[in-house]
Amino acid sequence: MTVTIDRAAKARRPRRPAEARESDGRLAFWLVIPSIVVLGLVILYPVIASIVRSMFGDGIGESPFVGLQNYANALWGLGAADFWGATGFTYFVAAVTIVLETLIGLAMALVMNRAFKGRGILRASVLVPWAIPTAVAAVLWKWAFDPAGIINALTGSTIVWTGSEIPSTIAIIVADTWKTAPFIALLILAGLQVIPDEVYEAAKIDGAGAWQRFLRITLPLVRPALLVAVLFRMLDALRMYDLPWIFTHGSNGTTTLSILVVQSTLSQLKPGYGGALATLTFVFIFVTAYFFVRVLGVNAVESVGGERKERKR
């Protein structure tokens, strides 16, 4: 699409540049309108409706306007213990899983990036966990973590994994890491493959060892891909729902923000309070992602620019 438009524009531009640009703009506007309308209907409308609904009370019959009462309830009122508990757990699990998944994913990607026999099979098999639907993976791991399951059988322990807080959290982290490390590996692998071999060869000639090459070449060059992968994972992990729900039904302090939203909205039929929780979750995730992009994203650009300047000098 864009290619043909660009070509057409280039062809016409020499003749009547201003007019052509204007009519192109107008055409683009009308072409974009349907997508904007659809996006508005499926994204903007629900978000606004949820925010509006969160300003109204819950109860049988009419729901009165209560302003920010639902937010106050969640943040420092009757629901505060549940809300902050869920926030703490969600962020804790997100942080731990992202660190683990990034390290494991990076290692997987480095292995997959090497040329050796059977690489295709390895690549395919590493991706299997990611291809399994989360709900199915959760059930598999629930069986593995059963008191009479394979994990206790192999380790000889008698831990009731989904029966108390720390083991439940560990089980969830293990299952999530198993499931999504391949995703990070895949994105990093894509980043690794665009690094030209010449750079490594040059470094080798200059006498750089394997560790130095990894630190000085691989890491900086793969960083953009890595950051994107981590950002994706962060957005995903902060709205985690299915894994803890299937493992523990939110018991043992493993209620995530999403579980809390679903519990309030659907199970307890409190769309107002649930709407407030959903909006808060949205804001938390948005702010976290924004900071992530601001802090790490800006630094990445600056450091690349800085290096260039140094080199010129």
Partner 1 sequence: MRNRNRIAAAAVAMTSIVAVALTGCSSGSSSADGGVGPITFASGKDLTGAMPQLIDMWNKKHPDQKVTFIELSASPDDQRNSFIQDFQAKSGKYDVLWDDVVWTSEFAAHGWLQPLDAAKVGSDAVLPAAVASATYEGKMYGAPFMTNAGLLYYRSDLVKTPPTTWAELEADCKIAKANNMDCYAGQFNQYEGLTVNVAEAINSAGGSFLSKDGKTVTVDSPEARAGLQHLVDMFKNGDINKAAITYQEQESANAFLDGKAMFLRNWPYVYTAASADDSKIKGKFAMAQLPGQDALGVSSLGGINLGVSAYSKHKKTAEAWVQWMQSTEAQKILVSVMNQASVLSALYTDPDLVKVSPYLPTLQKSELTAVPRPQTPNYNAVSLAIQKNSYAALQGKVSVDAAITQMAADITQALK
* Contact call for residue 88 and partner 1 (CB under 8 A): no
Alpha helices in the chain (DSSP H): 2-12, 17-39, 45-53, 69-75, 80-113, 119-126, 128-131, 134-144, 150-155, 165-193, 197-205, 210-213, 219-238, 242-248, 257-262, 271-292, 298-312
* Contact call for residue 50 and partner 1 (CB under 8 A): no
* Contact call for residue 164 and partner 1 (CB under 8 A): yes
* Contact call for residue 266 and partner 1 (CB under 8 A): yes
Stretch of 128-136, 145-153, 230-238, 299-307 lying at the interface with partner 1 (CB under 8 A): 145-153
The binder of partner 1 chosen from 1, 3, 121, 148 (CB under 8 A): 148
**What's 114-136 look like in SS3?**
CCCCCHHHHHHHHCHHHHCCHHH
* Contact call for residue 21 and partner 1 (CB under 8 A): no
DSSP character for 295? Answer: I
Smallest separation (angstroms) from partner 1 to the CB of 247: 10
What is the rounded CA–CA span in Å between residue 231 and residue 226? 9
* Contact call for residue 115 and partner 1 (CB under 8 A): no
* Contact call for residue 268 and partner 1 (CB under 8 A): yes
Stretch of 180-188, 249-257, 288-296, 301-309 lying at the interface with partner 1 (CB under 8 A): 249-257
C-beta closer to partner 1: residue 269 or 298 = 269
Question: What residue type is assigned to position 241 of the chain?
Answer: Y
* Contact call for residue 295 and partner 1 (CB under 8 A): no
C-beta closer to partner 1: residue 3 or 60 = 60
Report residue 294 as tokens. 């601001």
Closest to 66 in 3D by CA, of 74, 55, 58, 75: 55
* Contact call for residue 146 and partner 1 (CB under 8 A): yes
C-beta closer to partner 1: residue 41 or 194 = 41
Other Cβ atoms within 10 Å of 6 Cβ, number: 11
